[in-house]
Structure 1
Amino acid sequence: MTTLTQKNTVPASDSGGKKWLSFLADYSTIIFFVLMLAVAGILSDKFFTIANITNVLRQSAPLGIIALGMLFVILTGGIDLSVGSMMALVSVVVALLMPNFGLLLSLFAGVSIATIIGSISGGLVSYFRIAPFIATLAMMTIARGIAQIVTKGQPVFIDHAGFKSFGEGYFLGLPLPVYVFIAFAILAHIIYKKTTFGRLVISIGSNETATRFAGIRVERYKFAVYALSGLACGIGGIIATSRTGVGSPVMSESFELDAIAAVVVGGASLAGGRGNVFNTVIGVLILGVISNLMNLMKISGNYQQVVKGLIIILAVLLESLKSKK
């Protein structure tokens, strides 16, 4: 009996250490974000100006919307590499249609095309059992190729004051695109937390076989998350285009990597089943702060890519810590 009691006794110091590690693992995304803000404020006296903060939020809005769509795909254990190409295709479709068909119809067409492409990826993954990496890589190439073909590789300038004013406009001190980001985040949170769909998406990522044995038609839900990702790309592509006023076939190259990075930095597991909307939003803001800080410090884009890669590695290591806990 004495031996058994000694065996089960945990030293107070070890217990405290485990609690501290548990705290770090649970709140690592928020802690890292706060540290990044502190570092940014120290390194640049321009960072905490109102103009710069609103600029960070405006630039983060398209990535935030795309990352939230990507989150649901990753929760199922999938991945979507076509998001950047879909945004480019949306931008050129909107730019080409707007002169003849007007603002609303061109915007509807852009969102619809992105949703259709996402649905095709979802169909290939769920019903034809093609690996998500391969299916979305194919759609990435196809969408970018179509964008290049219809524009002959040239940018298409948009001459619509109302459309461009949305990307540059403000309401109550916040850029208009930020309100779209906030609305999409609220909607994503409701779907994630309050609906059967959200719970089943997590269940599929956690244990697809068990979910299937429970009588759930897994294919429908996997199809739906890729369609949702396409919808997010349509909205994000329109916002990005409204900021530049140009439909470009080379828009958002490598954007899929930023979206995946934001979700991973937010603590989601690439194996599926773990992640949440709030942390994904924080992950987006972390990447936005890092990019903005390096721009303020006049650090080239090549170095920025290296830093983002290191951040992804750090995020994966922290995710491993959570899994061990």
Structure 2
Amino acid sequence: MENHKMSVDTQSVAHPKTKGFPAEVSLNRLRQFGMPIALIVIVIYFSLASDVFLTGQNFRNVALQAAALSAVAVGQCFVILNADLDLSVGSAVALISVISAMAMAAAGAPVGIAAGLLTGAAIGLVNGLVVTRLRVMAFIATLAMLSIAQGLALRISKGVPITGIPGSFADLAFANVLGVPLPFLIAAALVVLGFLTLHFTRLGRNIYAVGGNTEAARLSGISVSKTKIAAYVVSGLCAAIASLILTARVGTGQPTLGASMSLESVAAVVLGGVSLFGGRGSIAGVAIGVGFVSILSNGLNLLNVSSYTQMMIVGAALIAAVAADQALTHKK
């Protein structure tokens, strides 16, 4: 009798483990391969829908378009892995563009580049301090910075583009290295640097720990405030690199540059498999997310879909990605 009872209990305990393991594996595979499959599907669709899509010139356009978004998305990834959000990156791109262009016109390209990077770092630092020291929610803090940065960009520039950028700097946007656009190589190097930082440095380990469980990270001796501030500074620097790339492309400092970057960067990061709740995801997935958003935008442009409709589609894709992440997490 006792032996029979023990065998039943053993089966009842073992059953969930046996049943749950394949389910967990399938969910992980879905997270890993869902977006690459979606990327392949849209490439096939646009290849059939447009004769121009599969051309060298169009791929060059996609690479140039993806360069700035990749830079912003890398920084956004650091913040979201921390279970925070940076909505200010779009306006930061505009403010950095204006300040760097004014510095270039007055003192040359090196000074302008330095001014842009310092401005980006300063914006990130302020965001981090407001979130950690003043304990303002990341959503509110960065939304307020979005408004402040946009207002500063318009006030400093008086609403008009800043001219006088050296031609040598503007030419960098159209330079090639072995046939590959220089801005794309810069963005690719930033993606690699972000990957190495997250996976092989103390900062990266701390970011995953804080995003996964803030209280456990604090109890283990990790400075949560310093980690969050560092993530925001990285985001600001990445926004500065994106701004410099875009400023070189347009040849002027634009106070309205990067208006859609906030939405697109969050979409690319979340579509790339990074959880909005922090602690899960990688730069490799973000790169795929950036490719999806960039190719989607390019293909819709070739099909003459309006920019307003494109914004709706990207927004819908973001909702679908977050909903899928929630569903997969709860099922697990």
TM-score, with length taken from structure 1: 0.94
Mapped contact 1:124–1:130 kept (Cα < 8 A): yes
| Partner Cα distance (1:275, 1:253) in 2 | 26
1:165 aligns with 2:171: yes
Of 253, 259, 262 in structure 2, the residue corresponding to residue 247 of structure 1 is 253
Query: Offset at 1:306?
Result: 1.5
- Matched with 1:263 is 269
* Deviation, structure 1 residue 314: 2.2
- Is the CA contact (8 Å cut-off) linking 1:92 and 1:248 kept in structure 2? yes
Whether the 8 Å CA contact 1:76–1:201 is kept in 2: the answer is: yes
> Corresponding residue for 1:63?
69
Asked if 1:220 corresponds to 2:202, the answer is: no
Match of 2:298 in 1: 292
Work out whether 1:207 is the aligned partner of 2:213: yes
Deviation at 1:216, TM superposition (A): 1.5
Amino acid paired to 2:70: G
AA matched with 2:76: M
Q: Which range is displaced more, 126-135 or 274-283?
A: 126-135
Give per-residue Cα distances to partners, 1:74-108, cap 9 Å, x unaligned.
01111111101111011111221212211101110
Question: Is 2:191 aligned against 1:198?
Answer: no
Secondary structure at the aligned position of 1:220 is classed as helix
Q: 1:159 to 1:122 in 2, by over 3 A?
A: closer
Could you tell me which runs of 5 or more consecutive residues in structure 2 were left unpaired when the two chains were aligned.
none
- CA gap of 1:27–1:321, structure 2 versus 1, over 3 A, is farther
Within the candidate set 32, 41, 64, 1:26 is matched to 32
Equivalences for 1:103-114 in 2 at 5 Å?
Answer: 103-114=109-120
- How many residues get paired? 324
2:105 aligned residue: 99
Percent identity of the aligned residues?
A: 35
Q: CA contact under 8 A between 2:170 and 2:249: conserved in structure 1?
A: yes
* Partner AA of 1:215 in structure 2: G
Matches within 5 A, 1:7-22: 20=26, 22=28
**SS of the residue 1:279 aligns to:** helix
SS in 2 for 1:48: coil
CA spacing shift, 1:172–1:213, aligned 2, 3 Å: same
1:234: how far off?
A: 0.9
Report the CA distance shift for 1:208/1:50 in structure 2 as closer, same or farther (over 3 A). Answer: same
How much does 1:253 deviate?
A: 1.2
Distance in 2 (CA, whole Å) between partners of 1:273 and 1:200 is 10
The answer to whether the 8 A contact 1:28-1:318 is kept is no
C-alpha distance in structure 2 between counterparts of 1:23 and 1:136, whole Å:
34
TM-score (norm 2): 0.92
Shift of 1:252: 1.1
> Are 1:78 and 1:272, in contact at CA under 8 Å, matched by a contact in 2?
yes
Alignment partner of 1:124 out of 112, 120, 130:
130
Which amino acid is 2:258 matched to?
S
Equivalent in 318, 321, 325 of residue 319 of structure 1: 325
2:55 matches 1:88 = no
After superposition, the C-alpha distances for 1:38-95 in whole angstroms (9 at most, x for unaligned) are 2221221211101101110111101101000000100111111110111101111122
Aligned CA distance change for structure 1 residues 167 and 3 (closer, same or farther; 3 Å): same
For the structure 1 residues 46 and 108, does the alpha-carbon distance in structure 2 shift closer, same or farther, using more than 3 Å as the test? same
Amino acid at match of 1:302: Y
- State the 1:26 CA deviation: 2.8
Following superposition, the deviation at residue 239 of structure 1 comes to 0.3
**Following the alignment from structure 2 to structure 1, what is the Cα–Cα distance between the partners of residues 263 and 279?**
20
